[in-house]
Structure formats: C-alpha cells, structure tokens
Amino acid sequence: MTKKIAVFASGNGSNFQVLAKQFPIALLFSDKKSAYALERAEKLGVPSYSFELRDFADKGAYEQALVELLDQHQIDLVCLAGYMKIVGPTLLSAYEGRMINIHPAYLPEFPGAHGIEDAWHAGVVQSGVTVHWVDSGVDTGQIIKQVRVQRLPEDTLETFEARIHQAEYELYPQVVRELLGED
C-alpha cells in the first residue's frame, strides 16, 4: 500500500518540488496564501491548501483545522519543507512520529529560522543539512540523517547557501525513501 505524503511549506517550495518529482504527494499545505510553493503545486498537479493562523481564534483552532485536513486525506507522513511555524501540541499530538523536518544546518548547531546565515556569520568551516523528527522544541527532534557541507575559501554567502540547498535536495528524498521502505 502506498503511503500518503503531505508537504508543508511557507515560501518558495523548492524542497516540495524535489519531493513531488520523486514521490506521489497527496497534498501541499502552506500557511502563506502568497507562497510560491502553491504555484509549484498547481504546475505539478498536486492538490494544495492554504489558510493562515490569523484566520482562526487561536493556534489550537488553526492546528485542529490542519489535523482535520490531514485526516481527511489519510496522510501517513508529513514532511515539513520550509514550514516556518513552530508545531504546537494539537498538531504534534496527532502526528508525532509521522512528521519530519529538513533543516539547513548540522543540528544541534544553528537551530531556528536562519541556520545558513547563522553558520556563515559564525565563520564555520562546515555546516550541513539535517532531517529530523518533529518534537515540541525548535529543531530538537531526534536526528534521522545528516550530511556535512564544507565552506570553501572562495564561497560567498550565496554560493554556500546554494550548496546547502543542493545537499537538501539530495538528502530529503533519500530519507523519505528510507522511511517509506523503498530503499
């Protein structure tokens, strides 16, 4: 039986696109109605949904609507891919152990929203990419797999960032494949 995958993205959706070209994605969700990820989903023929926290009385109601959407589509695995909201208790209690995240740093180094920039400004000689289970913390879940990315002497922030993203595009599908038992 094919497992059903949902991807959550808040912005560009490049990791979503990489996953959608390799796996049947049941749905894309974005918490930003203007996210480019929604356009990518339309072009790829992936059903997409978007609503924003401000549309609800509180975060619990927002997450309850997300849980209902995921349950309606019988989602087995949620892949966060640039989803810039901290997962709260309502969503976590329903999908813990079935929700993974990709982070553009070698955790536990540089958690949070600006992993690449934080690593760059810290002057590290290497950073990386981490795929981890989502828990109640910020980028604190059990690590599934990581890869290191060297900072080259000729790197600019932009070239370093591009190589980090390239590593993401290779690592995330590999992890998803393993979790689905396809490797």
Residues identified as active-site: 103
Confirm if 48 and 41 have CB atoms less than 8 A apart.
Answer: yes
Pairing of strands 126-133, 77-80: unpaired
Confirm if 37 and 56 have CB atoms less than 8 A apart.
Answer: no
CA-wise closest residue to 138 among 179, 175, 103, 177: 103
Where does residue 74 fall: left (phi above 0), alpha (psi -120 to 50 degrees), or beta otherwise?
left
Q: Residue 122's CB: how many other CB atoms inside 10 A?
A: 10
